[in-house]
Amino acid sequence: MMIVGSPEQTEALLLAGEIPCPDCSVQLRPHGHARTRTVRGQGDERLTLQPRRARCTSCRRTQVLLPAALSVRRADTLEVIGAALAAKAGGSGYRTIAARMGRPLSTVRRWLRRVPEKHAHWLYGQAVQHAFRLDPEILVRPKRWPSLLGWSLNVLAGAALAHRRWVGTDLPPWTLIGLFTRGNLLSPPLRI
Ligand SMILES: [Zn+2]
């Protein structure tokens, strides 16, 4: 699986042979589609997408090109999950967040459990790396947050806004954060 930006832009890049294989760097070619997914956005909003599937012309491996607005194996958009994490970083508990967002308690608790301290450290590392590349000023005086998760999200948001400014894209900030974190805003489940 590869995390990509907008579906339209990805399609154009794929057709132009400009998306390299993550394993061997040779160009990927269109190879059908993955199953259609409908995920929940903010409020009653629903997002239906059929991610592109692509195949490497050399090693023949196939990849699903998952738009970063979705989140890997979750039924809600990255924006929704990100808003829950931001609320947690701001001091809210899962009951408050679930009530405010209209999501089941168990769902919200599952999201919040996927950002243990170790993962917050990883997120912070990604945030610093992208902020440094885009606008080191972001790192000079980050707003004080009581938790590492809060700092990380704050720096990631700063990097996303800097990216929009410099690159001139209109991708939403959470989509950019999904790209910066390569689909791992939540830590991936352990493989057993
Ligand atoms: Zn390959």
Burial 31-46 (b: 16+ CB within 10 A, else e): beebeeeebbeeeeee
C-beta neighbour count of 150 within 10 angstroms: 20
Q: Report CA(26)–ligand 1 centroid distance (Å).
A: 6
Q: Report CA(14)–ligand 1 centroid distance (Å).
A: 14
Q: Report CA(87)–ligand 1 centroid distance (Å).
A: 40
pLDDT at 92: 95
Q: Report CA(29)–ligand 1 centroid distance (Å).
A: 10
Q: What is the pLDDT of residues 168-192, one digit of tens each?
A: 888 999 999 999 999 999 997 655 4
Tokens of 44: 């009653």
pLDDT at 189: 63
User: What's this model's pTM, rounded to 2 decimal places?
Assistant: 0.91
pLDDT at 111: 96
Q: Report CA(157)–ligand 1 centroid distance (Å).
A: 32
The count of residues in the chain is: 192
Give the whole-angstrom CA distance, residue 117 versus residue 106. Answer: 20
Q: Identify the residue whose tokens are 């042979």.
A: 17
Q: Report CA(21)–ligand 1 centroid distance (Å).
A: 5
Q: Report CA(69)–ligand 1 centroid distance (Å).
A: 25
| Residue of 97, 158, 107 whose CA lies nearest to 131 | 158
Q: Report CA(28)–ligand 1 centroid distance (Å).
A: 7
For the chain, domain boundaries? 2-67, 78-180
- Mean per-residue pLDDT pooled into runs of 10, the chain (192 residues): 92 96 96 94 90 96 94 90 95 96 95 94 95 90 79 94 91 95 85 48
C-beta neighbour count of 108 within 10 angstroms: 25
Q: Identify the residue whose tokens are 């980050």.
A: 142
